[in-house]
Structure 1
Amino acid sequence: ADPERRCVSITCGHVACHECAERTHVICQCCWAKTTGFVSLIEDEQRSRECRRCLTRAPLKRCVFRCGHTLCAACTLSIRKFHPELTICPFCQHGSTPIQMEEPTNISGVAPSCPANR
């Protein structure tokens, strides 16, 4: 498993390393909620939080599509105005309902209990 790759629960939006998502694929390590799975985030090597649509450097809230692409919450909201029932990813045109991410503010960007923090 690769602890450097990050995943997000498609149920609660919590971010975890790939290793945790693989090990506990039905339980979120942050809130212990049953999850319907994890999506691997499509990120650059620096794990940049920059919104690739509006170029905001560090938006407070981000959303993820089931394809793994992310947008800031403001861009996601503007896209959803046109497609309220199903939002299309602006990068790969995958249709899905975006999930608001619950990202920790620690340096690794994953849950404090995650092995990537050790």
Structure 2
Amino acid sequence: MKKKITYFLSVLAIGLFVFLAYGSDDDGESSTVDLNASVSFTGTQFVIKNNDSFDYNNAKLELNGDYFLKGYNLKAGETYTVGMLQFADKKGNRFTALQKPQKFSIWCDLSSGKNGFYYAEWQ
């Protein structure tokens, strides 16, 4: 019985070593890239600029953590104007002029297979 336990623990240790050595496909690089974007608010519209040399594909624009726009493709070097009323929460409620934009983020897919992320905060 003692031999079986020793054998089992040895196989388990070798399996764990092999998994740790080869099981991870992480190449040491992050799968998220910080985007070089800029966002400003005019009082009724957001001006979004892609300052990178690559496109932001299938972008999700998020306002104050609750209001979203999905599916945007923001081309490299381009500037986009998006009206605040285009942003809606999960229930379909629109962002209104009575609300103050405080946080803005962009999540997107990149052609490299990685994800892009941008975040801004206003007072």
Structure (1 or 2) with the greater helix fraction:
2
Structure (1 or 2) with the greater strand fraction:
2
TM over 0.5: no
Higher Cα Rg, which structure = 2
Q: TM-score, structure 1 length as denominator?
A: 0.22
Q: TM-score, structure 2 length as denominator?
A: 0.22
* Structure of greater relative contact order (alpha carbons < 8 Å, 6+ residues apart): 1
